[in-house]
Amino acid sequence: ETGVTQTPRHLVMGMTNKKSLKCEQHLGHNAMYWYKQSAKKPLELMFVYSLEERVENNSVPSRFSPECPNSSHLFLHLHTLQPEDSALYLCASSQAQNSPLHFGNGTRLTVT
């Protein structure tokens, strides 16, 4: 496999559920990112990890919790989400923080 792989592709969860989104990159990159894409809104950067350390947290609610166990894997743990959290969640990686981003296909999340 090559590129950035996200699982699952689709997720429906209730507001009291706990779920996790997974991202894996096979590009040997050192930085990984979570973005949120909502309808009619620009992409929002949520978290940035560089060399497995979180370097950016853009005022994201605590019901979203990222985890980066190594440079190839990134998780987004979800807990007690709200319906307005329904969106496409995109993972990306880059060789360095100034390098172009490589995105996964995203996870389409629906919170009921």
Partner 1 sequence: AQKVTQAQTEISVVEKEDVTLDCVYETRDTTYYLFWYKQPPSGELVFLIRRNSFDEQNEISGRYSWNFQKSTSSFNFTITASQVVDSAVYFCALSEATPSTGANSKLTFGKGITLSVRP
- Please give the residue ranges that form the binding site for partner 1 (CB under 8 A): 4, 31, 33, 40-43, 45, 48, 50, 55-56, 88, 90, 92, 94, 96-106, 108
CB nearer partner 1, residue 20 or residue 95:
95
**Shortest distance (Å) from residue 94 CB to partner 1:** 6
- Sign of the CA dihedral with 59 first, then 42, 25, and 105 last: positive
Give min distance, CB of 32 to partner 1, in A. Answer: 10
Nearer to partner 1, 81 or 92 (CB): 92
- Asked whether 56 and 39 are in contact (CB, 8 A), the reply is no
Query: Which residues lie below 8 Å from residue 92, measured CB to CB, with a gap of 6+?
Result: 4, 32, 33, 35, 101, 102, 103, 104
Our CB check for partner 1 shows the closer of 21 and 102 to be 102
Q: How far is the CB of 28 from partner 1 (least distance, A)?
A: 16
Going by the DSSP 8-state scheme, the letter that residue 96 receives in this structure is S
Q: Tell me which residue has tokens 């605590």.
A: 62
